[in-house]
């Protein structure tokens, strides 16, 4: 997989994007209701409107979008071919912007239905993705995740052509994130990094991304949550999240993400919150099969104890995960989120059906194992 995006990063890096806007006739600007009103985003929209004759603003992408949300958004967009799609938002907005970069590229044979059926288009419009959470790393992955309400689950539309031309990591755009969102989306990035690092399809390229991302994340997540105005911690978290996405692009997540899909699809629990609940129990389950990798990750913690042996380090990492989720004040039981024990058979079945990710778990997983992990959450 090639990641050929040009990355712009740093404070005020989008203040002048005239080089990107020059000669463009139709720009599609995709965002959501919480983000469109931020002063820095208003300034960006004004800059685009000044440089480009036709700018269509789609500012109503919902959190955790479904296929029907994308169909509704598409119906608001005239048939004109778009020159540039700009997505500014969390993973929800970025995934929709990535899909629109395929669906507004002027090829009428590419439709939402054909993408859902697995078509791999070869064309898209130029794209710029600007994450406002840190995060999904969507700006570095070939995936767009949609909820499918009829099936009470989520699916991933995956095609490398969706990788953007430009990514901007702009710390001041993430300072307005409420602390609970900074915490849960940060745990999502952590799951991407540690799952890709311990996946059956991990390789030296994805390991490299995972190790850099984990080091940045361990050193900055709690500061970025506690001190939203700390631009250095916020930029480091954007990079950690980006590296998580890059690790996904070259490897793949496994147990946490497979088990979190039904929690998002059926109970509409936000993606990062579902992952936060699952992180420590899932990692405890795979620990025996990933001791060396866990020990390497442990060594990246700022206060790692170098005298521990490999097994002790692996154990200490799982304890760190448990305590981190508590310190970040994220829920750690399913009851807190309205899921009852009698839903277990449904959850187990749905998680096992996420074969795309279950095949990456570094140890065999049975239905009983999945049930036992869910049971620890009640
Ligand atoms: N494409 C991928 O590779 C990938 C990977 C993981 C998850 N996802 C998907 O991404 C989606 C979740 O994305 P997310 O976790 O980034 O959350 P999100 O985009 O749904 O945003 C969560 C909430 O935070 C608000 N928000 C975001 N940034 C803000 C800011 N700077 N200030 C104030 N409010 C802000 C949003 O408006 C929203 O209400 C899910 O649909 C998930 O399945 C995609
Ligand atoms: Fe994720």
DSSP of 119-139, one letter per residue? ---S---EEEEEESSS---GG
For 79-107, how does the pLDDT look when each residue is reduced to its tens digit (9 = 90+)? 778 999 999 999 999 999 999 999 999 88
For ligand 1, what atom is nearest to the CA of residue 98? 1
Pocket test for ligand 1, best of 30, 31, 34 (most atoms within 8 A of CB): 34
pLDDT for 120: 92
pLDDT for 81: 81
- Assign domain 6-173 one CATH number from 3.40.50.1970, 3.20.20.70, 1.10.3720.10, 3.30.420.10: 3.40.50.1970
Domain boundaries for CATH 1.20.1090.10 within the chain = 177-376
In angstroms, what is the span from residue 133 Cα to ligand 1's centroid? Answer: 6
Q: What is the mean pLDDT of residues 209-226?
A: 98
Domain boundaries for CATH 3.40.50.1970 within the chain = 6-173
Neighbours of ion ligand 2 (CB under 5 A): 188
Which residue's CA is minimally distant from atom 38 of ligand 1? Answer: 63
Q: Is the pLDDT of residue 265 over 90?
A: no
pLDDT for 115: 96
For ligand 1, what atom is nearest to the CA of residue 154? 43
In angstroms, what is the span from residue 136 Cα to ligand 2's centroid? Answer: 5
Cα dihedral 10→304→223→145 (10° resolution): 70
pLDDT for 266: 87
Torsions phi, psi for 165 (to 5 deg): -75, -40
Which residue's CA is minimally distant from atom 12 of ligand 1? Answer: 91
For ligand 1, what atom is nearest to the CA of residue 272? 15
The CATH classification number of 177-376 equals: 1.20.1090.10
Which residue's CA is minimally distant from atom 9 of ligand 1? Answer: 91
pLDDT top residue among 2 and 226: 226
For ligand 1, what atom is nearest to the CA of residue 245? 3
Neighbours of 122 (CB within 10 A): 10
Output the ligand 1 site: residues, CB below 6 A. 32, 34-35, 63-64, 89-93, 95, 132-133, 135-136, 138, 141, 143-145, 154, 173-174, 176-177, 181, 185, 188, 245, 248, 271-272
Alpha carbon distance 45, 31 (integer Å): 11
Nearest to 165 by CA among 3, 299, 331, 54: 3
DSSP state of 66: B
Alpha carbon distance 233, 226 (integer Å): 10
pLDDT for 155: 87
| CB neighbour list of residue 145: distance below 8 Å, 6 or more residues apart | 91, 95, 154, 155, 156, 157, 271
Which pair of structure tokens corresponds to residue 289? Answer: 């099969």
140 — pLDDT class (breaks 50, 70, 90): very high
Which pair of structure tokens corresponds to residue 285? Answer: 């389950």
Pocket test for ligand 1, best of 142, 175, 179, 181 (most atoms within 8 A of CB): 181
Least-confidence region, from 26-40, 254-268, 315-329: 254-268
């Amino acid at each position: 997989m090639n990641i050929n995006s040009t990355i712009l990063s740093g404070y005020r890096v989008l203040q002048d994007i005239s080089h990107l806007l020059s000669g463009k006739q139709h720009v599609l600007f995709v965002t959501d209701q919480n983000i469109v009103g931020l002063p820095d985003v208003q300034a960006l929209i004004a800059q685009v409107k000044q440089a480009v004759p036709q700018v269509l603003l789609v500012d109503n992408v919902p959190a955790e979008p479904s296929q029907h949300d994308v169909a509704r958004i598409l119906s608001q967009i005239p048939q004109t071919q778009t020159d540039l799609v700009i997505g500014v938002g969390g993973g929800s907005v970025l995934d929709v912007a990535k899909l629109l970069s395929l669906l507004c590229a002027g090829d009428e044979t590419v439709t939402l239905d054909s993408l859902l059926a697995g078509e791999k288009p070869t064309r898209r419009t130029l794209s710029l993705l600007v994450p406002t959470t840190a995060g999904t790393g969507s700006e570095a992955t070939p995936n767009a995740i949609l909820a499918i309400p009829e099936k009470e689950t989520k699916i991933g539309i995956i095609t490398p052509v969706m990788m953007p031309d430009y990514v901007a990591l702009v710390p001041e755009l993430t300072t307005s994130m409420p602390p609970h969102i900074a915490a849960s989306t940060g745990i999502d990035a952590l799951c991407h990094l540690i799952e890709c690092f311990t996946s059956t399809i991990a390789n030296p390229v994805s390991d490299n991304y995972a190790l850099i991302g984990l080091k940045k994340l361990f050193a900055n997540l709690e500061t970025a949550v506690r001190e939203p105005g700390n631009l250095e911690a916020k930029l480091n978290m954007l990079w950690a999240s980006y590296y998580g996405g890059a690790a996904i692009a070259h490897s793949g997540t496994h147990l946490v993400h497979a088990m979190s899909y039904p929690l998002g699809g059926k109970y509409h629990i936000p993606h990062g919150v579902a992952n936060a609940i699952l992180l420590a129990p899932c990692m405890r389950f795979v620990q025996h099969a990933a001791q060396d990798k866990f020990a390497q990750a442990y060594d990246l913690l700022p206060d790692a104890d170098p005298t521990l042996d490999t097994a002790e380090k692996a154990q200490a990492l799982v304890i760190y995960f448990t305590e981190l989720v508590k310190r970040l004040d994220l829920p750690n039981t399913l009851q807190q989120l309205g899921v009852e024990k009698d839903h277990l058979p449904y959850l187990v079945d749905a998680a096992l059906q996420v074969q795309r990710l279950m095949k990456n778990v570094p140890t065999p997983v049975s239905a009983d194992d999945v049930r036992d992990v869910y049971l620890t959450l009640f």
